[in-house]
Structure formats: C-alpha cells, structure tokens
C-alpha cells in the first residue's frame, strides 16, 4: 500500500474527526451536565450549513457567510434552549426523546420551507487547488483549511474550558450539577450560553463540511448518531473525551472506508471488496463503541466525579 | 391495572368493533383507498406494542427497536425473493431470526444501563442498517421489491396476503392476540416481577428474581413480535429498504409509544393510530405535514404528560425512573 495514500487518509480521518468534535463538544456538555438527550443537535448542524450557504450566496464572501452563519446559529441555539429545551431538563429521557424528535421534524421541514430541499455551497475559489505538503503529497487546500480551523477551535475550546471562569463553572456542573448550583452557580443562565456555543460549533462544522458533503435537509441525522457514539466512547460530559473519541471515530471511519478496501482487495473479488469496505467501516465504528463500553462502561474519560 | 374499569371495557368493545367493521364501512363509503392506511396503523400498532413491552413494562429504553422490525421485513422479503411463498415458513423464520437477533443484542446491551443502554441498542440497530445497505444481492441501499406475498393454507383455499382485506384481518388478529397477551401479562406473577425490576432492579434481585434473564426474555419476546410486524409490513408495502432499520424508524416507534401512553396496554395502538392519522390528515391539507406533526408532538410532551391513554383514563401512568 502506498505510504502517501496512508498519510492522506490519516489527514482525512483527522479532519473528519475534528469536525465530529465540534458537534460532540456541545452535545456532551448538554448530555453530561443537564442529563438531557438532545436528538435535535444534528439539526443545528443543518441549520448552520443552510445559513452559511445562503449568506455566502448573498454576500459573495465565504468568510463573511460562515461567520454570519455561526453568529446566527449561536443566537438561534440560545433561543431554542431558552424557549423549549430548558423545560425538558427536569423531565425523563423519554420526554426528551419525543420533544427533540419533534424538533427534528419541525427544523427539517422548516428549513425546507425557507431554503428548499438543498442549497449549493462551494469552497472558496482561492482554495480550490491542491497544496504540496510533502514532496509528492498533494493535499486539497480546502481540506487543509478545515484541519487548521478544527485544530484551532479545539485548542480554543480547551483553553475556554480549562483556563476561564466560564470553563470552571461548566466543569463543576458536569462533575456535580446539584453541588455547583448550591455553591451559587446560576446553572440555567450558564447553560443558555453553553448551548449557544455548542450550536455555534455545529454551525462551523456544517458550514465547513458543506462544500465536501452536501447542504441538504436531513444532513444532520446520520452525523448526529456518530456524535453520540463519540461522546459515549469519550465519556459523557467530558470535553477531553469528546476530542479523543472524535479523532478515534474519525480515524476508524475514514481509514476503514479506504484502507480496508485496499486490504480486502488482496483476497476478495474487487466488486465484493468495494461493497464490503464501506459496510465494514460503517459498522466498525459501532463495534468499537461496543468494545469500549464493554471494557470501560463509563467511557474513556468519565466526567462525573 | 388488575381490574379494568367499565369505561375501559366499553372502549375495548367500541374500538374492537370499529376495527373489525372498518374495511366494510370503507368499502360501503367508496373509500377503499384508506384500507391500506388502516392496515398500516395495525402493523405499526403491533410494532409499537412490542416496543412498549420493553420500554414501558420493563423500563428498558431501547433505541434500536427498528432493528427487529427491519430484520423481520428482510427475512420475509428475502424468502419471497428466493421463491419460498409459504406463510408459515415466513412466520417461523421471521420469529426465529428476530428472536435470535434480540437474544444477541439483548445479551450484550443488558449488561449496561441508563443512557448507555439507549446508546448501545442504537448502535446495534445502526450496524444492521449499514449491513442492509451493503448487501447488493438483496437491493442494497435501493431496497428490495417483492413480486409475491405470503400464502397461508386455509381449509381447501389459500389465504394470499396480496389481498388487502386478508392482510388487514391477519394483522388485526396478530394485534388482538398481542394486546390480550399484554393485558394478561401485567397482573401475572411474571409480569409483576418484571414491573418490580423496572421500578428497582437491585431490590428485585435481592428478592431473588433472576433480573437479567427476565429482562432478556422480555427483550427477546418483544424483538420477535417486532419482527412479525416487519414481516406484515413488507407484505403490505411490497417493498423493504434499509430505511426500515434507520434510527429515525426506531425514533418513530418510540414516539408512538410515548404519544399513546408508556406502560399501558393500548398505548402502542393509540400512538400508532394518532400519529399515522395525524400525518395523513396533515398531508392532505399541507405540503409541510412534518412541520405541523412536530408541533403537535411538542405540545403533547409539554402539556399531556401521560400520553393519549393518560388523557382518557385521567390516571397517572406508572412513573419511569
């Protein structure tokens, strides 16, 4: 197997993993601190992507479009939290599933009403070409941008959680919500902001992945489940766990899709290999999660103290 | 739950009579088209009832019930594609494979609890979803069309599920058996043990109940019944696709149960009927029926906490921890 292909696929896996992390970060905090199952988290990713596609078309600038979409999704996330989700924190998981499933229906169809079933979103022309990373290794410039933005946001988020007062309050909430509230933290208000940040991160992922995948209604549904897998592997409520889990899942998924196919081709007929590769890769992520849960039922980095 | 109130008995008689008469009334009114909707309600009511057994009675929030529905649909569709038309064979194979799938998934998943159980059942269903997508020989992601349907010998004649009326009454019979069994399950010693372990499984275990085996048994029975619903569904639609196994399908079944009433005998039926009728009515009036369905569901969560059956009986459903 050519080494350059492996390097390229590792970069792709890392890039996908970082985008999954952006989705999983908000999800794990809502799940960990508020004990809330939010199935509509993937819808925020979709809303962000649609807003970005719309604003990029309107302004003609990719950067302006993405920044605008992130700001709007941040506001939308806070409004959603304050308007609907907040009343669900005290309810059981079943009510949360029903309510957020209803939100998926509303947001999917609502997006369709406003923007139609899909919107075109292209990578900026300046980044259309490849960059030579190593002698002989051409890597698409746009994918490199995603990688850089993803890494930068991961570092930023780590600083926010580990080094700021807001982060300390969030960690306190994740570790023991009742105690944090007893010590005078206004968990409700804190959470509106945290939810908004989670929504904004979803928008970043949606906007950046938009040109690679497709901006269409329902785009959040499959990636949402992967985000759940990430946070279960990482440990519910842990940002660090979400990062590690996301990179592992991104690697397993991407490497499985391409490299596994190469391996299978060695001893299977080609049409079987090309059919079995993606299936194994999709399933591998879930097998991985089942194994992690069997060995460490609380995930890799349990947040609850 | 042990003594049915007279209002409940009345409701059973009215709903039962309406269900039996429905095809004749629809035909008399020239609304034959709606028979397939009625069949769909019955088929989904079976699936939702089987989920309610796990989710409501045993308190196991399974987020992968579509796995068994889809397995049942695929087993029947594949047998028909391979030229096997015998209904009893379809039924036996469906029950066997769905129960086996539930045994494997349940044996592993039941070692976890709480949100981890939710996520691991979801993960198993997703595995089967991707498996169905990759099996190109049986349609892959495009799904599998079947030309024939299940055939049952009936006296000298043959009962062909291709006949919409036959399908409706067979499904209705399955549903009736399931509902009667569920109604008798709750007050039975086994049913009480399952309710006890739902409310506090440490205490139930301390009392000497084999909680793990009881949960697994309930999970397997529900999986088999879910499979039968899937087999009926493929006979109804003439088609099965991986979407039958997608997590949104599991979500829809959960929504039916919660909407109808968790841990109530008729919750699955009420939820399936209301959700599918709501979608049908909205679909005829607006292009964006999902949007309005969503708002109705949201309103139910926020304002009708015990589901539809709860509104009818005005009694607090057993709480779930």
pLDDT single digits (tens) B113-149: 888 888 889 989 999 998 898 887 888 888 899 988 9
- pLDDT at position B289 over 50: yes
3-state DSSP of chain B: CCCCCHHHHHHHHHHHHHHHHHHHHHHHCCCCCHHHHHHHHHHHHHHHHHHHHHHHHCCCCCCCCHHHHHHHHHHHHHHHHCCCCEHHHHHHHHHHHHHHHHHHHHHHHCCCCCHHHHHHHHHHHHHHHHHHHHCHHHCHHHCEECCCCCEEEECCEEEECCCHHHHHHHHHHHHHHHHHHHHHHCCCHHHHHHHHHHHCHHHHHHCCCCHHHHHHHHHHHHHHHHHHHHHHHHHHHCEECHHHHCHHHHHHHHHHHHHHCCCCCCHHHHHHHHHHHHHHHHHHHCCCHHHHHHHHHHHHHHHCCCHHHHHHHCCCCCCCC
- Kindly report, residue by residue over A121-130, the tens digit of the pLDDT: 888 888 878 8
The domain containing residue B239 runs over which residues?
Answer: 6-313
For B223, list phi and psi in degrees, rounded to 5: -65, -40
Domain A3-295: CATH class, spelled out:
mainly alpha
Over residues A224-243, the mean pLDDT reads 89
- pLDDT at position B5 over 60: no
pLDDT score for B155: 78
- Kindly report, residue by residue over A39-83, the tens digit of the pLDDT: 999 999 999 999 999 999 999 899 999 999 999 999 999 999 999
For B102, list phi and psi in degrees, rounded to 5: -65, -35
Taking CB atoms and an 8 Å cutoff, what residues of chain B touch A104?
Answer: 248, 294
**CATH number of the domain that B176 lies in?**
1.10.3470
Residue B321: inside a domain: no
Q: Which residue has the tokens 């029950």?
A: B95
- Kindly report, residue by residue over A7-46, the tens digit of the pLDDT: 888 899 999 999 999 999 989 888 877 788 899 999 999 9
3-state DSSP of A159-189: HHHHHCHHHHHHHHHHHCHHHHHHCCCCHHH
| Number of structural domains in chain B | 1
Beta-carbon separation of B291 and A113 below 8 A: yes
Of the candidates B108, B247, B294, the beta carbon closest to that of A103 is on B294
Contact predicate A13/A254, CB 8 Å: yes
- pLDDT at position A303 over 90: no
CA-CA distance, B271 to B41, in Å (whole number)?
9
CA-wise closest residue to A236 among A30, A14, A4, A13: A30
Show me where the domains of chain A are located: 3-295
Confidence of residue B70 (pLDDT cuts 50, 70, 90): very high
Nearest CA to CA, how far is B252 from chain A (Å)?
8
CA distances from B77 to A143, A304, B37, B103 (A): 42, 46, 21, 22
Nearest CA to CA, how far is A105 from chain B (Å)?
5
pLDDT score for A304: 60
Over residues B47-76, the mean pLDDT reads 95
- pLDDT at position B1 over 70: no
pLDDT score for B284: 87
- Kindly report, residue by residue over A159-209, the tens digit of the pLDDT: 888 888 888 888 887 777 778 878 777 877 888 988 999 999 999 999 999
pLDDT score for B219: 96
Residues 255-284 of A with CB under 8 A from B: 275-276, 278-279, 282-283
CA-wise closest residue to B119 among B194, B64, B80, B81: B64
Nearest CA to CA, how far is B167 from chain A (Å)?
30
pLDDT score for B320: 46
Beta-carbon separation of B298 and A278 below 8 A: no
The overall average pLDDT reported for chain A is: 87
pLDDT score for A153: 92
- pLDDT at position B319 over 60: no
- pLDDT at position A259 over 80: no
Joined together, the tokens standing for residue A209 give 């992945």
Residues in chain B, overall count: 321
Residue B161: inside a domain: yes
- Kindly report, residue by residue over A97-149, the tens digit of the pLDDT: 889 999 999 999 999 999 999 998 888 888 878 888 777 778 888 999 999 99
Residue B199: inside a domain: yes
Residues 50-89 of B with CB under 8 A from A: 55, 61, 63
- pLDDT at position A264 over 90: no
Residue B29: inside a domain: yes
Residue of chain B minimizing CA distance to A86: B302
- pLDDT at position B321 over 60: no
- Percent of chain B residues topping a pLDDT of 90: 49
């Amino acid at each position: 197997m050519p080494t350059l292909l492996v390097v390229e696929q590792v970069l792709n896996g890392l890039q996908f993993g970082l985008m999954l992390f952006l989705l999983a970060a908000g999800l794990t905090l809502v799940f960990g601190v508020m004990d809330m199952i939010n199935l509509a988290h993937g819808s925020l990713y979709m809303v962000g992507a649609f807003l970005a596609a719309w604003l990029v078309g309107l302004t003609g600038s990719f950067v302006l479009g993405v920044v605008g979409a992130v700001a709007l999704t941040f506001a939308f996330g806070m409004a959603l939290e304050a308007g609907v989700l907040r009343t669900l924190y005290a309810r059981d998981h079943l009510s949360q599933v029903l309510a957020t499933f209803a939100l998926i229906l509303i947001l999917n169809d609502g997006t369709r009403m406003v923007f139609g079933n899909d919107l075109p979103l292209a990578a900026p022309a300046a980044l259309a070409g490849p960059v030579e990373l190593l002698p002989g290794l051409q890597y698409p410039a746009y994918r490199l941008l995603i990688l850089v933005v993803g890494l930068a946001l991961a570092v930023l988020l780590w600083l926010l959680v580990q080094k700021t007062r807001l982060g300390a309050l969030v960690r306190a909430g994740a570790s023991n919500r009742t105690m944090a509230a007893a010590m005078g933290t206004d968990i409700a208000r804190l959470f509106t902001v945290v939810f908004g940040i989670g929504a904004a991160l979803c928008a970043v992922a949606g906007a950046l992945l938009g040109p690679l995948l497709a901006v269409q209604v329902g785009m959040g549904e499959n990636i949402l489940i992967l985000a759940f897998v990430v946070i279960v592997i990482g440990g519910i409520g842990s940002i660090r766990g979400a990062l590690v889990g996301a990179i592992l899942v991104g690697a397993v998924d991407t490497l499985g899709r391409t490299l596994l196919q190469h391996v299978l081709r060695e001893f299977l007929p080609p049409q079987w290999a090309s059919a079995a590769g993606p299936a194994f890769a999709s399933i591998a992520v879930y097998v991985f999660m089942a194994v992690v849960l069997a060995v460490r039922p609380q995930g890799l980095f349990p947040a609850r103290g | 739950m042990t003594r049915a109130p007279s209002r409940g008995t009345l409701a059973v008689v009215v709903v039962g009579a309406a269900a039996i008469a429905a095809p004749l009334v629809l035909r008399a009114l020239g609304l034959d088209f709606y028979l397939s909707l009625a069949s769909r309600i019955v088929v989904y009511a079976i699936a939702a009832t089987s989920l309610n057994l796990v989710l409501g009675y045993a308190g196991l929030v399974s987020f992968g019930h579509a796995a068994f529905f889809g397995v049942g649909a695929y087993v029947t569709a594949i047998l028909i594609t391979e030229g096997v038309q015998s209904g009893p064979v379809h039924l036996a194979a469906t029950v066997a494979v769905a129960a086996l799938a539930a045994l494997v998934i349940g044996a592993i998943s039941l070692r976890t609890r709480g949100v981890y159980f939710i996520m691991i059942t979801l993960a198993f269903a997703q595995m089967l979803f991707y498996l169905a997508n990759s099996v190109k020989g049986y349609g892959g992601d495009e799904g599998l069309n079947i030309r024939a349907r299940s055939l049952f010998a009936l006296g000298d004649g043959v009962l062909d599920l291709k006949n919409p009326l036959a399908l409706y009454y067979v499904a209705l019979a399955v549903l009736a058996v399931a509902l009667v069994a569920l109604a008798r399950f709750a007050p039975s010693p086994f049913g009480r043990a399952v309710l006890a372990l739902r409310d506090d499984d440490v205490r139930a275990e301390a009392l000497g109940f084999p909680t793990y085996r009881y949960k697994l048994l309930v999970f397997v029975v529900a999986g088999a019944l879910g499979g039968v619903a899937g087999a009926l569904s493929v006979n109804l639609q003439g088609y099965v696709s991986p979407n039958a196994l997608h997590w949104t399908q599991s979500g829809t079944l959960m929504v039916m149960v919660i909407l109808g009433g968790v841990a109530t005998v008729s919750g699955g039926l009420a939820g399936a009927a209301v959700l599918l009728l709501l979608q049908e009515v909205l679909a005829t009036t607006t292009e964006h029926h999902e949007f309005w369905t969503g708002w109705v569901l949201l309103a139910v969560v926020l304002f009708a906490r015990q589901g539809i059956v709860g509104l009818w009986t005005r009694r607090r459903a057993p709480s779930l921890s």
